[in-house]
Amino acid sequence: MHDDRTLVEARLRRVLDERVRPAVYPESVPLEVAVWHAPGEPVPVAEGLAAEPEPIAVGARWGAPWGTSWFRVTGTVPEAWAGRTVEALLDLGFDENMPGFQCEGLVYRPDGTPVKGLNPRNQWVRIGAPAEGGEEVRLHVEAASNPVVLDYHPFRPTALGDKDTAGTEPQYTLTRMDLAVFDETVWRLVLDLEVLGELMAELPVDSARRHDILRAVERALDAVDLQDVNGTAERAREQLTGVLSAPAVPSAHRISAVGHAHIDSAWLWPLRETVRKVARTTSNMTALIEDEPEFVFAMSQAQQWAWVKEHRPEVWARVKKAVAEGRFVPAGGMWVESDTNMPGSEAMARQFVHGKRFFLDEFGVENEEAWLPDTFGFAAGLPQIIRAAGAKWLLTQKISWSQTNKFPHHTFLWEGIDGTRIFTHFPPVDTYNCSMKGAEIAHAARNFKDKGRARHSLAPTGWGDGGGGTTREMVAKAARLRDLEGSATVVWETPRAFFEKAEAEYPEPPVWVGELYLELHRATLTSQAKTKQGNRRSEHLLREAELWAATAAVRTGFPYPYEELDRIWKTVLLHQFHDILPGSSIAWVHREARATYERVAAELTAVVEGAQRALAGEGTTALIFNAAPHARHGVPAGGAATAPAGRHRTTLTAGPDGGHVLDNGLLRITVDGRGLVVSAYDLAAGRETVAPGRVAGLLQLHPDFPNMWDAWDVDSFYRNTVTDLTDADSVTAGEDGESVRVVRSFGDSRVTQVLSLPPGEKRLVLDTEVDWHETEKFLKLAFPLDLHAERYASETQFGHAFRPTHTNTSWESAKFEACNHRFVHLEEPGWGVAVVNDSTYGHDVTRGVRSGGDRGTTTTVRVSLLRAPRFPDPETDQGVHRFRHALVPGAAIADAVREGWRINLPERRTTGAREVAPLIAVDDDAVVVTAVKLADDGSGDVVVRFHEAHGGRVRATLTVGFGIADVTVTDLLERPGGDGEPPVRDGDRITVALRPFELMTLRLRRA
């Protein structure tokens, strides 16, 4: 038999495109259209409906960037259409290749009832099947003219990312506003042919099944009269019945489809637009649920649900009804789909506390899965947090984006730093916007790495962002793929149903230990420095506010600000979303974030100061309040205030070559005439810190122009070229006698660095102010250390994780930029060095060889300070920035932990009448208290959360500074729970035993 396969396949493509798809709407009449352009920000729905529009014609341009236009469409169903299905086709100027990245609309009835969203792949509104013609149609469309920021030529600088710079040029052309007859038979024929054509393309050329489909398709095409598609569509469908009813083989891969719309809480649009994106999508999905009895939709991010509740109560009512039916599923149990690398311990915990509590309070739903399809890598402390929140599963897809190494599993156990294991699934479909194309389904089956041991995978199905979610076409395709020979099988299921099946069939999956590092988007640890700084400072201010407010409430009856703290926590958690905190959003988002962090800081500072005034009373005694979890300067840890102790002294003398020497009896720091640290000598250990022939505190400048994803990526070749900033404008002694001030100029920028050696403290502090005006550059701060280390520790949530310093394998080589929280620590047996920071996250660690021929390795730690990408914010990081770092020679891991907390929680000095004792005191520095607060339920119980921070086992005693009636171990939501050895209470003393990095939460009922 002659091979005519390509001939039939080409015929199928053309007939579908030019004859069958157009016949879905065989008749149409134009609607009358009028428009009112809102003058500024979006207006309430009632105002938009009441506005008086002016006529506009199809073909007219409309929509200034970030504007809102209210279209009114009116018309009459022709008499001849009586009994036929009629739809309105409303094309605002969509590009079907860009669902989620352009204009969108939400359709309302005249009474304000939302109908559904309008999106590039979802332009129809069902009018119905009127028994008689002549029905009047009147709809209103709230249309958002969001500009296309990520265009066909991506990553080009654009002013469209902020309404202040975007201009007023109309962005879109009104394309179609019609009433049309919808021919469901032809629509079903389209889907039959699409499913079979796409399946056929994925089957082996020599397979019998492929040729069976080919001949059936050929017969169907023969049965279609191209001059009368509507009259012959049913005849064509009959030719496909046999191949569509052939069942899948028993070994077929099984896909759980979950309706989904991954909506970034901010990215190439501001937060206010996400509120409307969510309303459009939830309107679409509740409408689809009503039409499709098997369809199930899952939506994560409690913040987005809260926005619907607050801003679109009519949509909220429909959502609640669908949730009650089990068809619209709250997923993930987090406030937002946050970054997980940079949020601190408590913030990561509170993502689950606030997310899970919202779903419990609103729907009684207990989420057992973490749902993070798009987050840029996963910190090694996360499994314990997931478990402590009462969850046990994790889903993500993003690791499939890694550029260097292919992850070896799709279903596995992920083990965190404390030994907690979480059942984890990576959908092998490799997208969180599955559209049920045959290529996607076949890829999922072929790609699944756990064949022979497991058979199930999950496919998040639907257009994300502003794409409107799952479409009726996706649902129809899934129905055809439910049990189809040659394909994986597809069934709509909830995330819980999938995980239960996957876990049951795979009782002993492989284990992956440590962080899930994404080999991409590494620069998100540095971009938008002020957003990151605002996050870090907000986290520590929240710790202080809770600590001092709880202490004042117990000691003085101070009114604990429950509602204020709840609101601020949710604001901070929102801004940890995985395109805000990582710095990959448009200028508008980060401009608003900076202003938000300023407001948060002012509010929290007021709480702290009010609580401290209540505690200290009126008086003139000088007091130091210490919120850090370790004692310092004679002030106890954990929320104490005492009178300041006497000071030690630091000397400043002239050094060689016009430099200076700082000495406090613990360290001797030599700064040369260029303002560079040539020696940091540990006097007690008799040991030099700086690598021979090298200088520390060195600023290094690299070119930074990645191949793609400017704000997200730094590519390894950036290190091929480096400029050491060694020239100084001035190097002078500080007026305090304890510091050296260095000023440098480079490019269009200027940096002022103050190197200080605090009396009585074994740390060199570097305060760096950069007036940054570079473009596509990367600024690093380098510390070459005379230290041999095979690995180093970097702080993560509730502990630290280790990374190798070598690049033996591609896995290690790929980690050329990594995340730390407050410290990086390296050590040889008996002596180590820490580099601590107050607001940076990105860093790199490399190995070198000692100069002078005596062999031996050195290790260099470089802190990432600033970048200057031009997309999506062309002015990223321009302006003045201030950073604080400290070099801590002779540091054990305990010193690194302590100094990391101290640099982030400076003392507060005030005056008062009395000293303050801590609510909770711990007798072992290995136990770090991360939160002291009153219970969220308003009971007045005190909640204390702590963990083992050094990586060893510990038995410690907590002394409670108030009368207690009961002690309960709880989960993160302050409910009874937890595992491990239970605490032992003896009066006001509680003894706990913790394994390495174990997290524990205690609830103390006050007597």
DSSP state of 402: -
Upstream peptide bond of 428 is cis (omega within 30 degrees of 0): no
> Would the CA dihedral through 228, 229, 235, 236 be positive or negative?
positive
Tokens standing for 110?
A: 């005249």
For residues 696 and 846, give the distance between their C-alpha atoms in angstroms, rounded to a whole number: 14
Distances in Å between the Cα of 411 and the Cα atoms of 189, 381, 401, 423, 430 are 37, 19, 17, 7, 13
Name the E strands within 588-676. Answer: 621-626, 640-642, 651-654, 660-663, 667-671
Rg value, the chain, Cα = 31
Report the alpha-carbon distance of residue 727 to residue 520 in Å, rounded.
34
φ and ψ at residue 201, rounded to 5 degrees: -65, -20
Please state, as a whole number, how many other Cβ atoms lie within 10 Å of the Cβ of residue 708: 11
Distance CA 463, CA 119 (A): 9
Cα separation of 853 and 855, whole Å?
5
> Catalytic one among 151, 225, 374, 936?
374
Q: At what angle do helices 184-202 and 5-15 cross, to 10 degrees?
A: 150
- Provide the edge-to-edge strand list for the sheet that holds 621-626: 640-642, 621-626, 908-912
Q: Are strands 489-492 and 254-259 parallel, antiparallel or unpaired?
A: parallel
3-state secondary structure of 196: helix
844 catalytic residue (yes or no)? no
Residue 985: strand pairing partners: 990
Is residue 603 helix, strand or coil? Answer: helix
**For residue 139, what are the contacts with CB-CB under 8 A and spacing of at least 6?**
72, 73, 74, 88, 90, 107, 108, 109, 115, 125
Pairing of strands 456-461, 421-425: unpaired
What residue ranges in 904-941 does DSSP mark as E strands? 908-912, 920-922, 927-934
Number of H helices, E strands in the chain: 19, 53
- Angstrom distance (rounded) from CA 836 to CA 628: 15
Helices 313-324 and 302-311, axial angle in degrees (round to 10): 130
- Tell me the HSE value of 545 on the side-chain side, using a 13 A CA sphere: 24
CA distance 124 to 691: 68
Pairing of strands 879-889, 831-837: antiparallel
Residue 162 CB neighbours (<10 A): 21
Kind plus residue range of the DSSP H or E element containing 546 = helix 529-556
What is the C-alpha to C-alpha distance for residues 907 and 925, in angstroms, rounded to an integer?
18
Residue type, 552: A
Q: Are 463 and 100 in contact (CB under 8 A)?
A: yes
Q: How, if at all, do strands 989-994 and 984-986 pair?
A: antiparallel
Alpha-carbon distance of 472 to 996, in angstroms, equals: 51
Q: Which helix (H) or strand (E) holds 769?
A: strand 764-772
Residues 780 and 812: beta-carbon distance below 8 Å:
no
**Interior/surface letters 226-241, b for 16+ CB within 10 angstroms, e for the rest:** eeebbebbeebbebbe
> Are 154 and 98 within 8 A, CB to CB?
no
| Residues assigned a catalytic role | 374
